[in-house]
Amino acid sequence: MELTILGSGAAFPTLERGATSQWLQVNNDAYLIDCGEGTQRSILLRKCRTKYLRAIFISHMHGDHIFGLPGLISSMDLMGRERPLKIIGPVGLETYLESSNVLPSRYAVKITELEPDENGCIYQDRSVSVFSQPLVHRIDCHGFRFDENKKPNIRKELVEKYQIPGEKIPNILSGQDWEGKDIVITNSELLYYKVRPVSYGYMTDTKPINTPTIFTGVDTLYHEATFTEEHVLRADETYHSTAQQAAQFAHASSVGTLLLGHLSSRYNTSVGHLNEATLLFPKTFV
């Protein structure tokens, strides 16, 4: 799993930061997360290949997260794309794209709109399972968790030890425990991964969340940090977070690594964000 940040600014792009957009590559499958203005150019600069793009996930309908989407859809049509594309986002996304008059003629686009409180698996293919999480913003907004799909291996020594019938192995591989005559062996004991699957969480444009979420234990979490604590009142007014609040959430959620982004253009440097967050969560990057 490889993440490319295409844009990490807030409402106003700057010379250093474009509008929000990310490219997640898992083997030969790619996923775009949000598509702010200028995303196409960032894709070209970072040599991301749209032929691998399987799905686009839109967090919410603010312009700095969607204004690049019509142009990207149109360009892929002009380039002769034939592979179907799924686009998943909030209610109103389909109307927006239809009114933009960019739905392609050469390839099929399937649009799925999420209900405001939708929480659970919203997409699955050979490479990833994607889950949604309602966030706390001025309009309906969702975060996303991407879990890498990898096939587990069964411990042959335990199959022999407990004389597990061969016809039961597919059930175990799909997640079931083994119930013998006088013993129960849990699925986690029976299965292992040669390479552990990894996970990525994406949280943008949200007030701090203090309840359990789908992001607990993710390997890497991207959390918006529009402001520093100096502007915590402004963060509350605009339904955003500070770097310190993002670090508090990462610590409480036991994530592996924290990425900060969606920085306000008022800051000429990200040093303040980094210093503020690393006091609480050392493994932080901006």
**26 three-state secondary structure:** strand
- What gap in Å lies between CA 245 and CA 242, rounded to an integer? 5
What pLDDT, in 10s, does the model give residues 200-239? 999 999 999 999 999 999 999 999 999 999 999 999 999 9
Q: Which residues are catalytic?
A: 64
- What gap in Å lies between CA 245 and CA 61, rounded to an integer? 24
Indicate if the pLDDT at residue 72 is higher than 90: yes
What pLDDT, in 10s, does the model give residues 112-134? 999 999 999 999 999 999 999 99
Both ends of the chain: CA-CA distance in Å?
19
Q: pLDDT averaged over the chain? A: 95
- What gap in Å lies between CA 274 and CA 67, rounded to an integer? 29
Which position has the token pair 């919203």?
A: 122
Q: Taking the CA atoms of 166, 168, 174 and 180 in sequence, report the sign of the dihedral they define.
A: negative
What are the Cα distances from residue 99, in Å, to 57, 92, 169, 179, 273? 19, 11, 51, 56, 39
What confidence score (pLDDT) does residue 175 get?
Answer: 84
